[in-house]
Structure 1
Amino acid sequence: VSNGTNANITGLPAGLTGVFNVDVFVISGTPTASGTFNYTITITGGCAPATATGSITVNPNAAISLSSATNTGQQSICVNSSIVNITYAATNATSVTVAGLPNGVTGNYSNGIFTIKGLPSATGTFNYTVTATSNCASAVMNGNITVNELPVATITSSLGTTISKGDISVLTATGGSSYLWTGTDIQGSNSNASIEVRPRQTTTYTVKVTNISGCTTEKSITINVNEDLKLIPNNIITPNGDGKNDFWVIKNIDYYPNNKVSVFDRAGRKVYGSSSYKNDWDGTYAGAPLAEAAYFYVIDMGNGYGLIRGTINIIRDKR
């Protein structure tokens, strides 16, 4: 600046200032606003005021923010399950990229929105970084995706995969912290690691196994049932009220609902008869206890399945 003793400036962006010192006018600072700013320097103190003009263009920095739900940036999921889509809103960005995602998950930038989506195929914790780039400063945001393993389930059968009709097999699953079985003829609860099954026909049992991460898998086993069911009548009853052998039990009789059971004493007198026997005879006749002795039975399995004959002994406590 020559022939002037003072100078001032107008039109600068916020963050910039101008200083006049010994014929030099210096504009300096860090602009805090973006845009195009036309400024004017006015010089006074000479014969007549003089002016000088100029223009400063301040390009904006990139900005980025999470636009999907807050918890989407911190996800814990099971391998081979789709993540909840994660979206970021980017402004003043010329490009947006991501690094650190698991295999199977990708990012795509379109119309100011960066979307992360996919189905991870690798397990572990993945810390990712999203970077929005502009002509000036870039902006970054971080997140993480934890991909949990599926349980490795196994099933074993105490009697193998081929059993006789009427047999009870114990199925045991491993690999999880909770279990849920489906299938017919499950004895008792279906939510234990081990269950008892007594299938009437070849049956497939499936267990849903869940691990501590909440991930699930299913495993199945087929139990083949041979049609070689045999009735197995106990040959003794001791009806003394101790809970052991108090009733005459015929194993597998429930598979022959049309059965007829008859019991005779040595003289041939019929002392007991029942249709659809339920394993509930306690060695009485007309409400009175029968004497200790051997008795003879005839079991008609019904529907033409044939007859079974044998001896049942009643033993009473003599105390």
Structure 2
Amino acid sequence: MPPGSYTLHVTDKNGCASVLGTWVIQATPLLQFSANNAPIAKPDECDQLLGSITGIDVSGGVPPYKFIWTDATGNTVGNEKDLINVGKGTYSLIVTDATTCAIPLPYSGSVDNQEYSPDAPVLNDQRICLPGKVGLSVLNKTTGMYNLYADATSTTPLQTSNTGNFEVLITETSDYYISYSIGSCESPRTKTHIEVVLVDVKFSNTITPNGDGINDYWKIEGLEKFPGTLVQIFNRYGKRVFESKEYATPFSGQFNGWLLPSGVYYYIINLNTPCKLLSGNLTLIR
């Protein structure tokens, strides 16, 4: 029957007529997407589940409307008009109204995923005197995850941190690499150099200046890293028998052109750093 007002008249066998009532049949508009329907798919970023589909608008039918979003596998991922917090994929929507006879309204949309290279962390190099635990701290911290690697190419981080702070045990001069990641996107790695001063300087405690070309002078490795170094050697009476800045002239067991006798001598090495002076004994054997 078309929409309108209808009155029911009843007449009995005796010809008596009566009106039982008046009923109104209203037209229910078809459930459909309205003129304002303008779906917008926002892509996810680095697989963080930031994608969405918004702008769905329906009209007609009998409110309230029911929204069911499903993913490509058929799992329900949303029950609101706007689909939010989803990753890359194709999503289907079925809209129904409060009636039992309305034709379900379908929609399908896709969400993409955008990836980018975040800014690399900024760190300072460090110089420590002795081996020990060292704190590494990113200077340009932001929300996300930081990864500490042993080298520039390893795939598994030694540590991860959401604060940008790490603590590592340093036994010798080392390089570490730190990257920043957010979701599936990872920045280039930044190298941070930790130098252990009193480990980098290496030398023996004995020299044999006998002219055989073997151990004829006191070889000290690593001094080139420390400008302004001063090396001094004293005999057992405290008399200085050798001094050299930058160790330009290595100690060969002589003092003012005279051969020093065999025995135990004492050295002081000032590396021109905040670290303590290196000192100990040096045995001269002829």
Question: So what's the TM-score if we normalise by structure 2?
Answer: 0.40
Greater relative contact order structure (CA < 8 Å, 6+ sep):
2
> Structure 1 or 2: larger strand share?
1
Larger Rg: 1
- TM superposition score normalised by structure 1: 0.37
